Structure 1
Amino acid sequence: EKESEFELYVCAEIPIHTLCPCSKEISAYGAHNQRAIARIEIRTSTLVWLEELATFAERGASSSIYSLLKRPDEKYVTEKAYENPRFVEDAVREIALALEEDQRIKWYCATVESIESIHNHNAFASVEKGWKGETS
């Protein structure tokens, strides 16, 4: 008798930090930063922890986001972001590469929306792999 199979659909929204590569390149005084929201949706037939999705999202970030930082830690975070600038397209690409490495994931959709700090619009990028309705 065939074992029963199941599929899980897991979705998480994770705040990340991005630093604009363009403003870094053209400015002598720094670059603008912003929070962004990485949304990761996956289909899997085995358990994937939400913390793992957060780790995938952080691979796309310029640096991690923290609830509370002391000044020396804030200095470290902003300097790390400055050395790792990312457009939303870069962030979503890095997240997709991380998801591709995980054989448990049959389908995914990753999006990043940057909550722009100096523009009157948000930036958005998305990538999807596999088909939501496909079975394997």
Structure 2
Amino acid sequence: MTSHSLPDVASQNASQNIPLDWVGMCGIALPILIDGQRLTAIADAGVSLEDGEVRGIHMSRLFLALKVLDSQPLNPLLLKKILQRFIDTHDDLSICAYLNIHTQMLFNRPALVSPLSGWKSYPVTIKSSLKNGMFHVELNVDVKYSSTCPCSAALARQLIQHKFIDDFANKTLLHAEILDWLGSTQGIVATPHSQRSTAHLQLNLSEEVVDFPIEHVIDKAEEALGTAVQTAVKREDEQAFALANGQNLMFCEDAVRRLHVALKSTSTVKGFNLKVVHAESLHSHDAVAQSRWNWLCQTV
């Protein structure tokens, strides 16, 4: 039996004449090559169905168009070609195409002081669309960092001051005795709370971008925050991390403003939507702040 003799139910007329914005598949497993890394990814692929009388699209054609990702490096130009292929294989049915790719990028990150290093994973989503000939690409990256609460730090310092007054009132201050006091739990009676936090970066990229600036964006964000989470560490690294936290006290509002300034000055970024989440250690809820600049989300 040939394929021409097999029934094609999808080509039948729909029972209701309703055009659809997005039809396709989610959760397609595929390999991708990006920044020299061969990665496992999940793709969501779809097109619009402009003809409301047509029952369905040809999903296998979308699937086959993704095969090019097996061998070619992922970049904006390749995405545009794939989206155009989606539309070309659905002639008279679709004028819009969508492709979202979800993966985890691995970068080797050095310790703060020691010669150690380790791999750190960053969730990355690349969203792309082709609508009426207009191509749009968006880069989403999650960056984890530590945030120490300024209010908690101030309250801890006050408690230490009060303890110092209690322990040294009307006493001659001896350098060695004070030094011992500063290094003891008797003296440092309180510490500020901090939490692992996440910056969710949604970036509209410049039309001139040839390759995805993933590592560059991550470096800019971590530099702005100053307290990126670490991989392999020794005690000297942990001490340096404690110093970094102490010198970078931040509310969620502070963190998102730092990112706003850093990413607005990045030439490859033409707009963004930023969201930071501080997973509070004091509360059972999270502290959240958002900021936008020149943001127009066009993908699905």
TM-score over 0.5 (shorter chain) = yes
- Segments of 5+ residues of structure 2 without an aligned counterpart are 1-132, 158-189
Deviation per CA, 1:70-89: give whole Å up to 9, x if none.
Answer: 11210110111111101111
Contact 2:221 2:263 in 1 (8 A): no
Compute the TM-score of the two structures, normalised by the length of structure 1: 0.86
Change (3 A) 1:133 1:84: closer
1:87 equivalent in alignment to 2:247 = no
Q: Give the aligned residue type for 1:36.
A: S
Contact 2:225 2:255 in 1 (8 A): yes
1:131 is displaced (CA, Å) by 3.2
- Segments of 5+ residues of structure 1 without an aligned counterpart are none
1:132 is displaced (CA, Å) by 1.1
1:70 equivalent in alignment to 2:246 = no
Q: Percent identity?
A: 26
Equivalent-residue separation in structure 1 for 2:281 and 2:153 (angstroms): 14
Deviation per CA, 1:20-75: give whole Å up to 9, x if none.
Answer: 11101111332111110101111112144211221232144251211221112101
Equivalent-residue separation in structure 1 for 2:135 and 2:220 (angstroms): 23
Equivalent-residue separation in structure 1 for 2:148 and 2:192 (angstroms): 7
Write out aligned runs for 1:36-75 (5 A). Answer: 36-44=197-205, 45=207, 46=209, 47-75=211-239
Q: Give the aligned residue type for 1:43.
A: N
1:98 equivalent in alignment to 2:262 = yes
Residue 117 of structure 1 corresponds to: 281
Contact 2:204 2:295 in 1 (8 A): no
Q: Which consecutive aligned stretches of 4+ in structure 1 deviate over 3 angstroms post-superposition?
A: 4-7
Q: Secondary structure at the match of 1:67?
A: coil
How many residue pairs end up in the alignment? Answer: 131
Q: Give the aligned residue type for 1:94.
A: R
Larger CA deviation: 18-27 vs 102-111:
102-111
Equivalent-residue separation in structure 1 for 2:281 and 2:297 (angstroms): 37
- Give the number of the structure with larger relative contact order, counting CA–CA contacts within 8 Å between residues 6 or more apart: 1
| RMSD, aligned α-carbons | 2.0
1:130 equivalent in alignment to 2:259 = no
Q: Secondary structure at the match of 1:26?
A: helix
Compute the TM-score of the two structures, normalised by the length of structure 2: 0.41
1:21 equivalent in alignment to 2:182 = no
Q: Give the aligned residue type for 1:11.
A: N
Look at both structures and tell me which one has the larger radius of gyration over its CA atoms: 2
1:100 is displaced (CA, Å) by 1.1
Equivalent-residue separation in structure 1 for 2:226 and 2:282 (angstroms): 17
